[in-house]
Amino acid sequence: MCGLDDFKLTVGRLSKLRYELQTNKPMYKLTDKHADVELWNQYYDKEKERNGMDPCWFTNAWLYVECFMYRSIKETLALSMFLKDFDPFEEQKRSAFMSSQTPIVTLANHLLHIVSSNEHRDADLLEKDFRHMVELSLWGNKNDLSISGGSENYQKADPLEQLDELQPYILVDQINDMWRHLKSCANRKCGRCRIDIILDNAGFELFGDLCFAEFLLRMGLASEVHLHAKAMPWFVSDTTSQDFWWTLEMLQASNNGELSRLGTRWHQHIKDETFFLKQDDFWTLPHNYAELRAMAPQLYQDLSASDLVVFKGDLNYRKLTGDLQWPHTTPFVDALQGFLPAPLCVLRTLKADLVVGLQEGQDKQAEEKASDWMVSGNFAVVQFYVDRAWEQL
């Protein structure tokens, strides 16, 4: 088959997918060669058994349906001859990165300034800088391309100047608890701590996450950082391994000295195994994280070796909490339903209508401030949990 025919066939399949989705047709079983096919098809059978009918686009759970849409796009491409590895969102991701150059440079300057100053013998200053780096990584999550339906959504304002005014929008702020945990880990293990980041969006968010990782390394709070990327194009802007490498290449090739230094440094971190880039099919399944241990035992075991697992973003939050309508005052740990491979935290801006761990009445106050507080990405939570037993290890 020639390229043009292959292209036409693929576009036809995508149009069919769109039509079926828009008209609530039944979903279907996957047939491509990817290793996750059986797990998806088992999920389909379970849903069918539960509801007594084939899963349909409008009637099944939002999380499942939404994940399946991205997986179906992947299948359509996988079944083609010439577009197997094509990332349909690549252009948007790259353009969002390019458009965020000014705030990226601001953030790079800030990071390089704080890691090269000697002032951190003052513990209070180190703690303040830690807070800022966490907040920068947190608010980077505002910039995702799936909430904007794929249209331009990139960091425009100066990220540092915004931090103070954004503070009141952090509904749950457990940054101090994270700080105490990391300090005590670093003391106990002489700085030999492992941090994992379950990445979310590429572009400014990924850059902020890498800066946070670099800060932890340079301040002696971590000795290795494991970065978990998606195994396929996902929710438009999520970071794939390809996006990660492209970002490092772009930074290294930048004519801005600071960006270029960071790009070179992060390549070196990979070579000397300070950074680890990982991907696992589990992150692109529709399952809740309470099922991770049973579904992906090796991944669970790997995460268990971490001193802190940082989950970025809204989709991770939905999967951590099972995407359920919890009362808003439900303790965070209860919503995790036993998923506790290691100490963990979430850095998430709210884009879906669920949240836990709020104080009584906090939801009403947020609602008075903005009726779309749960879905606008303008409010956030930083939630942390460590089991007592881990603290004593």
Q: Which residue has the tokens 């513990």?
A: 123
Number of CB atoms found within 10 A of residue 113's CB: 11
* 3-state SS record for 38-75: HHHHHHHHHHHHHHCCCCECCCCCHHHHHHHHHHHHHH
Using the rule CB under 6 A, which residue among 96, 104, 147, 295 binds ligand F1X? 147
* Pick 74 or 269: Cβ nearer ligand F1X: 74
Chain contacts with Mn ion (rule: CB under 5 A): 144, 200-201, 235, 238
Q: Applying CB under 6 A, does 144 fall inside the site for ligand F1X?
A: yes
Q: Does 352 bind ligand F1X (CB under 6 A)?
A: yes
* Nearest distance from C-beta of residue 124 to ligand F1X, angstroms: 32
300 with 293: CB under 8 angstroms?
A: yes
Q: State in angstroms the smallest separation of the CB of 253 from ligand F1X.
A: 27
Q: Which of 99, 100, 141, 284 binds ligand F1X (CB under 6 A)?
A: 141
Q: How far is the CB of 87 from ligand F1X (least distance, A)?
A: 16
One-letter amino acid for residue 347 of the chain = L
Binding residues for ligand F1X, total number by CB under 6 A: 13
Q: Which is nearer to ligand F1X, 64 or 83 (CB)?
A: 64
> Could you say which of 44, 235, 384, 385 contacts ligand F1X (CB under 6 A)?
235
Task: Give least dist CB 234 to Mn ion, A.
Answer: 7
Q: Which does 284 bind (CB under 5 to 8 A by kind): Mn ion, ligand F1X, none?
A: none
- The nearest distance, CB 237 to ligand F1X, in angstroms, is 6
> Binding ligand F1X by CB under 6 A: which of 266, 311, 351, 386?
351
From 35-43, 69-77, 141-149, 177-185, span contacting ligand F1X (CB under 6 A): 141-149
Return the closest-CA partner of residue 377 out of 342, 357, 344, 352: 352
Alpha-carbon gap, residue 361 to 372, rounded angstroms: 16
Half-sphere exposure of 90 (CA within 13 A, CB side): 12
User: Is 129 a residue that touches ligand F1X (CB under 6 A)?
Assistant: no
State the virtual CA torsion across 360, 365, 370, 375 in degrees, nearest 10: -10
Q: Give counts: helices (H), strands (E), the chain.
A: 17, 7
| Nearest-CB residue for ligand F1X | 351
Q: Is the dihedral of CA 321, 325, 331, 334 positive or negative?
A: negative
Q: Tell me if 315 contacts ligand F1X by CB under 6 A.
A: yes
Residue 55 touches ligand F1X, criterion: CB under 6 A: no
The H or E element spanning position 243 is helix 241-253
Rounded CA gap, 250 and 207, in Å?
11
Closest to Mn ion by CB, 101 or 148: 148
352 binds, among Mn ion, ligand F1X, none (CB under 5 to 8 A by kind): ligand F1X
Provide the token pair at 265: 């440094």
Q: In this chain, which of 55, 299, 314, 382 binds ligand F1X, going by CB under 6 A?
A: 314
> Which of 234, 238, 268, 237 shows the shortest CA–CA distance to 251?
268
List of residues contacting ligand F1X (CB under 6 A): 141, 144, 146-147, 200-201, 235, 313-315, 318, 351-352
